[in-house]
Chain A
Amino acid sequence: MKRFSRRDFLKTAAAFSAGSLLSMAPALRNLKAQSSKPNIIVMVFDAMSARNLSVYGYPRSTTPGLERIAERATVYHSHYSAGNFTTAGTASMLTGLYPWTHRGINLSGMVNKKHVDHNIFNLIGDEYHRTAFSQNYLADVLLGQFQSGLDNHIPAPTFYDQLEHPLFGQYFPRDPIPAYYGLDDYLFSGGIDRVGSVPSAPIFGFLNKLARRKQDFNKSLPDYPYGIPNNTFYSYKHEVVYAGVLDEIKNLASEQSPFLAYFHLFSPHEPYRPRKQFTDIFPELEIPFKAPTKFSTLDIDNDHILWRRKTYDEFVADVDSEIEKLVNALDEAGVLENTYLILTADHGELFERGEYGHVTRLLYDAVVHIPLLVIAPGQNSRVDVHHPTSNIDLLPTLLHIAGKTAATDLEGRILPGLGGSEESRSLYAMEAKECSAFGNLKDGATVSLIRGEHKLIYYTGYPKRPDTFELYNLKDDPDEMKDLSTLDTTTTAKMKEEMLDTFESNRKLK
């Protein structure tokens, strides 16, 4: 037998070491990837208006949790949605484009197919694992459109308590858009139980209406005095939804890195159904009365509006408690060490001028001013950004965070505080539900322009209403009570010119 020499020993040791290193290579690569690319979690709270959050100075203490979270976050004080309802606001956030470009302007609408690939999931690329979930079906339709950019599209009916409506689309996960439109939206009118909604299957649609009349989701329960929250398709409990989201994130953090996770949660969207411990917790509030305008479509009694506002505030407080629990749990699990956590909304909620909700022609701050808090990895102190920003800025910002070069055709900019600068700019929002998404936006549209401390609102094309401009100084008059369009004619003329130039050049389908 050959003797095992010292040289042989050294050769064997070297080969063993090299082998070990090679076998460890994938793990090392993962570690490198983990350290170089941060994870990103975007949490969207549907219809959460910044105007009703105490973290932004609202007198009712609706968000003590967010106030504590804000102590270690970048807080954007003048963040605006480009739309006043889910489709328009979410499409703007996920594509980085204004509604007049992406054309998701109708209820249950979608993004123009020319711009479908222009979404965050697609642009961030497969270097990231991409997961998305939406409890709101209007946003889930958009996720269906963006499905080719998703590694995991969690079905909308997940984490629910009780189905209110049959959901056939979920049985055809390979066909999300045709199945949703062909069956759930088209067959049963999207589950929207409104007069004049026309299902493609009249008998099934009629039976569905009859069946829904028998259900009573408004029934008061000991824990839910106003009934269990629901999204018109199913009822759900906050604690179940948030626990489910936490599990998903923990799984992602342990199995996928880097990841981009998008969670679009329905609350505090109407119906406002806080749990018992959050009802009647706020004192009455002195709120300036704002009379209906000629563009208000409703004239609801002000006492009723105030009662709605109170239940909304209670519902926000309920959501806030869950957000804080979630953030603390993520922190304890160490997920936030290498993760950007973004907390925001798709649009706001309005309780004024004869209306409540967000299915409105109006673009006052309450319905477009939304929260944005960003916790960067390892952030321990608070940063306040007062510069006006838009939700179309989120996409370029996330691309920047992910180390991607932003596309040149973006309408948004990188957010200040996260790599962008505070240069002067104009911010737009648009409401055009009454228009054809592919026409020239002439059948009733409202557009707002914020520049500096001024906000110009333009109403155009509404039947029997002349085109109208309103001007407000948001710094001196944050409640938008005093229309300055006839008093400050210089600013009005300047902003009007800019507004008309921009709107006219974007009216046509691109």
Chain B
Amino acid sequence: MFNHRLPKLKDVLSVYAVIATMLFAWSALLFFWYLPSWMHFMLIGEIAATFSYVIVASFLEGLSFLLFLLVLCFFLPPEYLRDEFAARGTALTLPIIGMIMIYFRITNENIARIIFSVTGLVISLVIVLLFYFLANNPRIKSALAALADRFTVFLYILIPIFVLSLLSIAVQNIF
């Protein structure tokens, strides 16, 4: 029933790979930024447990964003997003997650305030749409699809880490 509404599994995995890699990279970067301090505060087991919580949260966050894109696919006409989802999904993922990351690097109160204003919303929307329409260019489209396809390799690392993290949290809290 949903097959004609949802993209191909291979494309979904490619886009998820882009999302997960961006989010894991961000989380891991911050984790290693904090690590020297945590080594003085926490025992090794506590640090490992903290990492597990971070990884599981990051994984779920990625799934949530993917779900958002799939919901868009479901409701939009197929040619808008479902067709060539690998390229179009990547074209939406990169600016949205990228802009949120940039926002969190901003320390200037006034700029931060603008982002939450109508102006900020309009600027963000324009940037996202720009990416989206650029993805219609055949060369950019194939580049984005190829990029997403190459990111899939990271899932072979990320999914086992997620499963291990989830198991360690379950063991600690259930048994």
Contact = CB atoms under 8 A, between A and B. Distances in A.
Interface in B17-58: 23, 26-27, 30-31, 34, 36-38, 40-43, 46-47, 49-54, 57-58
B104 interface: yes
Given A112-B41, A174-B172, A175-B49, A204 B57 contact: yes
Contact of B53 (A110, A183, A202, A204): A183
A289 interface: no
Contact of B104 (A174, A179, A198): A198
Contact of B34 (A186, A205, A210, A213): A186
- Which size class do A's interface residues fall under? 35 or more
B50 A186 contact: yes
Contacts of A205: 100, 104
B9 interface: no
A200 B36 contact: no
A64 interface: no
A196 interface: yes
A438 B36 contact: yes
A7 interface: no
B61 A181 contact: no
A200 B58 contact: yes
The majority secondary structure among interface residues of chain B is: helix
Contact of B40 (A113, A179, A198): A113
A417 B4 CA distance: 81
A196 B61 contact: no
A437 interface: yes
Interface in A192-241: 195-206, 209-210, 213
B171 to A, nearest CB: 10
A113 B42 contact: yes
A109 interface: yes
A178 B37 contact: no
Interface centre among A145, A186, A209 (most CB of B within 10 A): A186
A373 interface: no
A347 interface: no
B51 A182 contact: yes
Contacts of A178: 42, 46-47, 49-50, 52-53
A118 interface: no
Interface centre among A175, A187, A202, A204 (most CB of B within 10 A): A202
Interface in B120-159: none
A103 interface: yes
B101 interface: yes
A438 to B, nearest CB: 5
A162 to B, nearest CB: 23
Interface of B: 23, 26-27, 30-31, 34, 36-38, 40-43, 46-47, 49-54, 57-58, 61, 64-65, 97, 100-101, 103-109, 112, 116, 169, 172-173
Interface of A: 103, 109-113, 145, 172, 174-175, 177-179, 181-183, 186-187, 195-206, 209-210, 213, 436-438, 509
23 contacts: A103-B40, A110-B41, A113-B42, A174-B173, A175-B169, A175-B173, A178-B46, A181-B53, A182-B50, A182-B54, A183-B57, A195-B106, A195-B108, A195-B112, A197-B104, A198-B104, A198-B105, A201-B27, A201-B61, A202-B61, A202-B100, A206-B100, A436-B37
